[in-house]
Structure 1
Amino acid sequence: MSWRPLLKPNAERRLATPLRPFMSGRGGYAGLHVYRALACLLVLGALFGASGRSYAAQPPAPTWRYAFAVVANVVTEPGDESTLQRLVDGIGRNPQVSFVVYDGNLRGPRESCSDALFERRRGLLDASRAPVVFVPGQRDWVSCGTGGAGNYDPVERLDYLRQNFFNDANALGETPLALTRESEVSRFRPYRENARWQVGDTVFVALNAPDGNNHFLNAGGRNGEFEDRVIANGFWLEHAAEFARRRNARAIVIFMQADALPEREERPDRFAWLRFHRAPRDGYAELRRSLLKLAENFRGPIIIVHPEETKLPHGFTIDQPLRNEKGIRIANVTRVAFSLRDPLTQWLQIDADMARNAPLRVSVHDVPRHLPSLPPQQQPVMPEMPEISSMPDVTEIPGMQQAPDLNAASETGNGIGMSGTAVPPASGASQTVAPPRPLMPPPWIQQQTPATPSN
């Protein structure tokens, strides 16, 4: 039975009759406004009552905290393989490390570039508990043409590495880490070693830029391998900038084996053709121009990590040596060069915490004498970042410097010369020249004291 027949006729009339506003003053309709206000309050109260609890129950936005390890130049002779296995095991037992980057030189300077050697070294990296991203270095293929390395063809050795170390879309190691390789682009099918991945709001890039003048050959004719790879590397950096912008990433970290950034930018000599002894052609000039373009397209912090041949007091150094053709320092490009005291027992660790004013912190860790017990095996949390994110613009993050405005830089006052003294401005305009190396690290990277080995 419906409820309507139960009502009295008067009640039915009251329900069918609309509310009439009462008169206020002469012909006024103040009652209508009162009813409307009450209706709005009821609607708002219902909305907030229904959705207020849901908003309060939503968890806060996740704050990304992770760490990654970087090693290089670990193995120099066959007897070091067992120590490399212990190093990889020690890093994998650290629950804070999300992945490891082996930044070049998996072979010693006096070892042969044979297939058997590379198979053994890959087996050591595959046994890592944490994912390992391998970046080829000079000794891995460039210097394989020497007599001590077996007189191999460097290009053939590079092809061998591509087929055996970069043959799928995952990194090395027991824990899977999905990588995007440049070989997925049909135009750059051979360049499997150039990879990209993302953790949190940071985009990571692996680039094949070896030491030894980037494998530039001074012999006559077309330097095919060098010229093609320069184009591929430039495209990969440009693609990384576009990917980072679309994902609202806050930083880009680039791993390469070579030191492509000099202490200061050399200006071209107009009278070099008059000299009999010409300087060798710089094989990293195109790479630096690609990095300048990357810094212009992506205004967030760009971190370049590479090993250093010379020993460093603290195991690493942090500076900002990249300058444009006008000599202006690019403030959002930072270099982290590392040369560990004992590469067989130490690794460089970079901790990221976007909740801090200085999100990235660099430190050196030692393999403990007594390895801790293995943490429970878990799949790494690598969520797919949305195309439209609620994160603020990267240039507005507190503590993150912006790249210098080249037009505004020409209007600044006195600069600092290469000797540290003030340089008077020229007539009409002036430019800012940064002091020489060493430079203070930028505010988004903090240097930590080396950790003492734990017993």
Structure 2
Amino acid sequence: MSTIAGRSFSKIFAAEAGLMPVNVKKPLLKNIALLAAFCTAGCVQPVLAGPQQQNAQGHGKFEFALIGDVPYNEVDFWKLDNVIAEINADQQLKWVLHAGDIKNGSTLCSDEMFLDRLQRFSSFKKPFILTPGDNEWTDCHRANNGGYQPLERLSKLREVFYPLPGQTLGRKTMRVETQADDAQYAEFVENVRWKEQNVMFATLHIVGSNNALANFAGRTAADNEEVVRRIEAARAWIGETFAKATAENARGVLLMFQANPGFELAKGNSGRRGFEEILADLEREIVDFKKPVALVHGDSHYFRVDKPMLGAISKRRIENATRIETFGADDVHWLRVEVDPNSAEVFSVHQEIVETNLEQHPQP
């Protein structure tokens, strides 16, 4: 359960970054048809933010919205509608980030569920960037999830939510760099990166259930191989992101992924299984970078802003690493992240408590 600590600002950290060219792959015809099929009467044609808009050099202030672990329950769909309405009404927001888990862990992973979430997320007026969670593919082997083969659900998830590699969802879309542009990692359309006002942003496909290592009946060698390959891709994306940030004199980096990887746990703890290599890379890169880094995730359903990383060697707090965990599950609210590249901390976080979501469901 999340805890709500009030409506005060919690300053986090500051960063600055530049821009990068982005490449968009030619969409497959089936993906175009897929996207068109799920666009309801409420949808409008996507409007691409041009390079001069998205990648404008400078150090101006801007804001974006952050959500995660939502929607969890069908009875709370009306709460998500309220969140979407608030975000859509806010002209200051540039985009919406979703830290994964688009359903709870005890409901069907059906095609219909995927299409329902696509329709809901497509109603955001702003560019919408999603990183996958474990509930929508890793854990779909469970009987109450439909007994799916996880790798089949992962393939479907990519087909539905990343139909146009290098382009976001949302009524107004935005071009982003995708790891799929690298032939070595062609399937990783979900790992994306972009820069705004000299601030670097990237998503990483890192999920709960021990990063998909949790055992289940019917697990195959292919499931194990997928984990190895996805960790390899995440590590490569982390390295490239920090290399770009350093080369382009970025003042900070924000990384978003779904899993809580156990920052506070000691190395070798079972809670860090599936994350050890990634955590070691993050520690090294963040320490070498020396500038502020935000690590955004969901998973625990507990809103918090803290500094959980301890150096494995120094045993000291890594002060330039800040964790931002989203609201989630029963607490259907959102976070406003303000970005000021000229400030010492660049990012500040404000809890946006949706007052109507604290009430009982409206009676019909």
CA–CA distance in structure 1, aligned partners of residues 244 and 301 of structure 2: 35
SS at match of 2:71: coil
1:352 to 339, 344, 357: 339
Alpha carbons of 1:299 and 1:281: their partners in 2 closer, same or farther (altered >3 Å)? closer
Please tell me whether residue 162 in structure 1 is matched to residue 158 in structure 2: yes
Contact residue 265 and residue 325 of structure 1 kept, 8 A: no
Contact residue 256 and residue 295 of structure 2 kept, 8 A: yes
Please tell me whether residue 140 in structure 1 is matched to residue 141 in structure 2: no
Contact residue 245 and residue 298 of structure 1 kept, 8 A: yes
Look up the match of 1:275.
none
CA–CA distance in structure 1, aligned partners of residues 310 and 129 of structure 2: 26
Gapped regions of structure 2 (runs ≥ 5):
1-56, 357-364
Look up the match of 1:124.
120
SS at match of 1:212: helix
Q: Per-residue displacement from partner, 1:130-189 (whole Å, max 9, x unpaired)? A: 111011111111111100000011111111111111121211101121111111000000
Alpha carbons of 1:62 and 1:197: their partners in 2 closer, same or farther (altered >3 Å)? closer
1:328 to 316, 328, 337: 316
Gapped regions of structure 1 (runs ≥ 5):
1-60, 269-278, 370-455
Look up the match of 1:302.
293
Contact residue 126 and residue 171 of structure 2 kept, 8 A: yes
Contact residue 261 and residue 322 of structure 1 kept, 8 A: no
Look up the match of 2:91.
95
Look up the match of 1:426.
none
SS at match of 2:255: strand
How much has 1:359 moved relative to structure 2?
Answer: 2.2
Q: Per-residue displacement from partner, 1:40-86 (whole Å, max 9, x unpaired)? A: xxxxxxxxxxxxxxxxxxxxx95420111111122123343343233
CA–CA distance in structure 2, aligned partners of residues 282 and 176 of structure 1: 36
Look up the match of 2:281.
290
SS at match of 1:172: coil
Please tell me whether residue 241 in structure 1 is matched to residue 242 in structure 2: yes
SS at match of 2:259: coil
CA–CA distance in structure 1, aligned partners of residues 247 and 163 of structure 2: 28
Please tell me whether residue 180 in structure 1 is matched to residue 177 in structure 2: yes
Contact residue 208 and residue 258 of structure 2 kept, 8 A: yes
SS at match of 1:250: coil
How much has 1:90 moved relative to structure 2?
Answer: 1.3
Alpha carbons of 1:199 and 1:310: their partners in 2 closer, same or farther (altered >3 Å)? same
Please tell me whether residue 365 in structure 1 is matched to residue 352 in structure 2: yes
Contact residue 193 and residue 202 of structure 2 kept, 8 A: yes
Matches within 5 A, 1:362-401: 362-367=349-354
Q: Per-residue displacement from partner, 1:22-47 (whole Å, max 9, x unpaired)? A: xxxxxxxxxxxxxxxxxxxxxxxxxx
SS at match of 1:293: helix
Look up the match of 2:259.
258
Look up the match of 1:226.
227
How much has 1:208 moved relative to structure 2?
Answer: 0.8
Please tell me whether residue 338 in structure 1 is matched to residue 326 in structure 2: yes
Which has the bigger relative contact order, CA under 8 A and spacing at least 6?
2
CA–CA distance in structure 2, aligned partners of residues 308 and 232 of structure 1: 21
How much has 1:301 moved relative to structure 2?
Answer: 1.2
Percent of pairs with identical residues: 24
Q: Which has the larger radius of gyration?
A: 1
CA–CA distance in structure 1, aligned partners of residues 272 and 79 of structure 2: 39
How much has 1:267 moved relative to structure 2?
Answer: 6.0
Contact residue 253 and residue 293 of structure 2 kept, 8 A: yes
SS at match of 1:145: coil
Moved more, 230-239 or 331-340: 331-340
Letter in 2 for 1:266: K
1:199 to 193, 196, 200: 196
How much has 1:118 moved relative to structure 2?
Answer: 0.5
The ranges of structure 1 where at least 4 consecutive aligned residues each deviate by more than 6 angstroms after the TM superposition are none
Q: Per-residue displacement from partner, 1:371-407 (whole Å, max 9, x unpaired)? A: xxxxxxxxxxxxxxxxxxxxxxxxxxxxxxxxxxxxx
Contact residue 91 and residue 367 of structure 1 kept, 8 A: no
TM-score for both structures, normalised by structure 2: 0.75
How much has 1:265 moved relative to structure 2?
Answer: 2.8
How much has 1:228 moved relative to structure 2?
Answer: 0.6
Letter in 2 for 1:165: F
CA–CA distance in structure 2, aligned partners of residues 259 and 225 of structure 1: 20
Contact residue 262 and residue 272 of structure 2 kept, 8 A: no
Alpha carbons of 1:296 and 1:357: their partners in 2 closer, same or farther (altered >3 Å)? closer
Q: Per-residue displacement from partner, 1:8-34 (whole Å, max 9, x unpaired)? A: xxxxxxxxxxxxxxxxxxxxxxxxxxx
Letter in 1 for 2:341: M
CA–CA distance in structure 2, aligned partners of residues 220 and 150 of structure 1: 18
How much has 1:316 moved relative to structure 2?
Answer: 2.0
Please tell me whether residue 318 in structure 1 is matched to residue 306 in structure 2: yes
CA–CA distance in structure 2, aligned partners of residues 341 and 176 of structure 1: 27
Please tell me whether residue 85 in structure 1 is matched to residue 81 in structure 2: yes
Please tell me whether residue 107 in structure 1 is matched to residue 103 in structure 2: yes
Aligned length: 295
Alpha carbons of 1:220 and 1:134: their partners in 2 closer, same or farther (altered >3 Å)? closer
TM-score for both structures, normalised by structure 1: 0.60
How much has 1:334 moved relative to structure 2?
Answer: 1.7
Contact residue 262 and residue 271 of structure 2 kept, 8 A: no
Contact residue 348 and residue 363 of structure 1 kept, 8 A: yes
How much has 1:326 moved relative to structure 2?
Answer: 4.6
Matches within 5 A, 1:26-65: 62-65=58-61
How much has 1:221 moved relative to structure 2?
Answer: 5.5
Letter in 1 for 2:197: G
For the aligned residues, what is the CA RMSD? Answer: 2.4
